[in-house]
Structure 1
Amino acid sequence: MSIWQRAVVLACAGVVAVTGSLTVGGSVAAAPSDGSSREVSRVLSVSPTTPTRSTVTVYSAAMERPVRVSVLLPRDREKPRPTLYLLDGIDGGIYTNYTQSGWTFQTDIVKFMADKPVNVVMPIGGMAAYYTDWQKPDPVLGRNKWETFLTKELPPLIDKRFNGNGRNVIGGLSMGALGAMSIAVRHPDLYRGVAAFSGCLDQGAPEYRQATAASVSTRGGNPDNMWGPVGHSTWDDHNPAAHVDALKGKPVYVAVGNGLPDPSLGIAGLASPVGGVLEGVVLQCTQSFKRRADAAGVKVTYDFRSGLHSWGYWNEDLHRAWPTIARGLGVPR
């Protein structure tokens, strides 16, 4: 086992059992007996917690179950506005029993975005799913069709319910960074920009694929059910670095730490003992992505900073990425 694989396994060692073949993120789907879905995607409920924050439950026809989504709204909602989609890390909301995204639980995003003319949408759930469409349902992680959800089902529902103008940017951290970047290169007409924090954005090398597969295994999933065996061509199809030319002309922000803590963040800058090792290898993967982006002539705003694989740094990343994100959304910085 490589140092990268060991780091992933150790960092993800807090495995949480999820039982039931289609029980994911606190929702249970009753799939039709013939394996098809006869229902349409729709908003099931909107539960406001404050005037600018709601939990929305959406029925996903692709995943055949309800999915919770956190939505932040600006104070001024008279005009149509763009939408920022932010994806979570590997546990996808488990620390709040799937009541909110890690973004709202671990960062100051609610306060930071309150004065910005933007909808912010954060899916809850998707543990170890990499926000992609899996080839097969998984006995533990269930039926995952997140790419379909985030590109075909959710955006029109959000725009209709929350006065969206059809302009979108997608971002994420760790697992969500790879998911966001993969979706961005595969759907360049839908997402006008992308931000990725501490994600392995080049899945070309065997050791990076094996590490991604290992992270799925730590949550009880079978990685072969995602994109097939690590040597399968489907991995190439979802590798952002292999399709980086799709990002030409778009605002793109990529941040990654060097594996060393930043003392200026204090307690917020700490992580698990392997947080430095994990971030150090993600740095290698990011450098590989940069080489391929540079060769393709794709301009990216990089932040090669100090830091570990932890929320304190991703909170800072969001603040620093905002000017790039704002360009993609077409709003003031």
Structure 2
Amino acid sequence: MSIKRSVVAAAAALTLALGLTPATVSAQEGTVKEWDANSEPPKVVGSDKPQSWAEQVDGQRVLSYKVFSPSMNRDVPVAVIPATDLEGRRVDNAPIIYLLNGAGGAEQDADWLSRFGTRDFFEGKGVNVVIPQAGAFSYYTDWVREDVQSLYINGPQKWETFLTEELPGPMERTLKADERRSIVGFSMSGTSSLVLPTHKPGFYKSAASFSGCAATASPQAFNYARLTVNRASGTGDFRTVTPEMMWGPMGGEYNGYNDALANAEQLRGTALYVSTGTGLASETDMVGYLMGQGAPAPAASIGAAQLQVEGGAIEAAINQCSHDLRAKLEKLNIPAHYEFRNTGTHSWPMWREDIRKAWETTIKPSFGM
């Protein structure tokens, strides 16, 4: 047996010995419940502040539901932009775009509805948009540990099961949608939007990853995930919440299963959009730009420094990940649309541009529209 195979086998054995494999989950469907988020808004974690997205819920242009997840034994808040035509009339038999939030998500008031004019952008386009408004720092994956207790992660985290087994059928029936689906994510969920299609080839017509790292099982990628999930602890101790609790040992069987780079062949047939900046500051990372957006000079100066240093470092790492994925997909002769920018940090201005480009270049064509 080669050294590489020995290491993989040992890691897999350790995974089993430690009980770090996801529990078998029965594929039950969830239950969609009527809910008015505007009158009963969820709170930003660690505060009494209502999550901003709830203000957009009006029962017409933006809907809200609670969807019970059997695997997690709890209700998941879900925002929906229903499919409409150019005259504002509801459209039946329309596809669904599943938009996944980034690391902090709605729990940190950093979701698709709060940070982008998602409602206005998709109005009249004839597609339903479904946004799970929970799952901060979860990577939208099924965790091997079910007993994690922290500020953000509590109890079973079975997000893949929810997104691929429990949510689609009931939501499609509720919205009178068809079975054309797309999945879109950025940052943390940019990884998820590539991993989930490898587990269910053909389930999604298209997948878009904005500033997401396809790899998870290499030392570098695994420790990118460590930096992300550690933020769920609220303590910064790198012990309360770890990627080992999520995927088991680095390079183990389950970690490898959740690596889209390693399993890129399974993306064949899915229309792909992949984007990244380089980490070098762009116009939107400058003090002057932030002041032009209404930020006072001191706040703009601090914000620009954070974007250029922290956001720059993160995006530089993602840039490497994205080029690794491109090399793998090209070797496999799997087509994708790439938006590899010469500048840009890990920040919302790029992702707002990406959703517009991904719609036109990848998602809309994948739906045959």
Whether contact under 8 Å (1:85, 1:121) holds in the other structure is yes
- Aligned position for 1:182: 195
Q: How far off its partner does 1:44 sit?
A: 2.0
1:259 aligns with 2:286: no
The change in CA–CA distance for 1:78 and 1:318 in structure 2 (over 3 A counts) is: closer
Q: How far off its partner does 1:40 sit?
A: 6.2
Q: How far off its partner does 1:222 sit?
A: 2.8
Whether contact under 8 Å (1:202, 1:286) holds in the other structure is no
Distance 2:359 2:200 in 1: 21
- Aligned position for 1:315: 352
- Aligned position for 2:31: 42
Q: How far off its partner does 1:72 sit?
A: 0.4
Whether contact under 8 Å (2:29, 2:165) holds in the other structure is no
Whether contact under 8 Å (2:91, 2:126) holds in the other structure is no
Deviations 1:69-118 (A, max 9, x none): 1100123324310000011111121233xxxx610100121111002100
TM-score by length of 2: 0.75
Q: How far off its partner does 1:294 sit?
A: 1.1
1:139 aligns with 2:149: yes
Distance 1:102 1:167 in 2: 23
- Aligned position for 1:65: 74
Distance 1:40 1:167 in 2: 18
Distance 1:71 1:135 in 2: 29
Output the aligned Cα RMSD: 2.1
Whether contact under 8 Å (1:259, 1:277) holds in the other structure is yes
1:244 aligns with 2:289: no
Deviations 1:4-53 (A, max 9, x none): xxxxxxxxxxxxxxxxxxxxxxxxxxxxxxxx99x962012243524121
SS of the residue aligned with 1:164? coil
- Aligned position for 1:24: none
Q: How far off its partner does 1:186 sit?
A: 0.9
1:121 aligns with 2:130: yes
1:51 aligns with 2:71: no
Distance 2:120 2:282 in 1: 23
- Aligned position for 2:41: none
230-239 or 125-134: bigger deviation: 230-239
Question: Given the alignment, which residue of 114, 119, 127 partners 1:110?
Answer: 119
User: How many matched pairs?
Assistant: 292
SS of the residue aligned with 1:203? coil
Q: How does 1:162-311 map onto structure 2 within 5 Å?
A: 162-220=175-233, 221-263=241-283, 266-267=289-290, 272=307, 273-305=309-341, 306-311=343-348
Q: How far off its partner does 1:248 sit?
A: 1.9
SS of the residue aligned with 2:265? helix
What one-letter code is carried by the residue in structure 1 that aligns with 2:252? H
Higher relative contact order (CA 8 A, sep 6+): 1
What 5-or-longer segments of structure 1 have no aligned partner?
Answer: 1-35
Aligned-residue identity in percent: 31
Question: Given the alignment, which residue of 320, 327, 330 partners 2:365?
Answer: 327
Tell me which protein shows more strand as a share of its residues.
Answer: 1
Whether contact under 8 Å (2:277, 2:315) holds in the other structure is yes
SS of the residue aligned with 1:122? strand
Distance 1:115 1:259 in 2: 35
Distance 1:78 1:217 in 2: 42
Distance 1:322 1:316 in 2: 10
TM-score by length of 1: 0.83
What one-letter code is carried by the residue in structure 1 that aligns with 2:250? V
Deviations 1:158-203 (A, max 9, x none): 1110011111010100011101110011112311110000011122
The change in CA–CA distance for 1:78 and 1:316 in structure 2 (over 3 A counts) is: closer
Whether contact under 8 Å (1:196, 1:253) holds in the other structure is yes
What 5-or-longer segments of structure 2 have no aligned partner?
Answer: 1-24, 37-56, 234-240, 294-302
Deviations 1:107-142 (A, max 9, x none): 121111002100001111111110001111122213
Whether contact under 8 Å (1:45, 1:57) holds in the other structure is yes
- Aligned position for 2:236: none
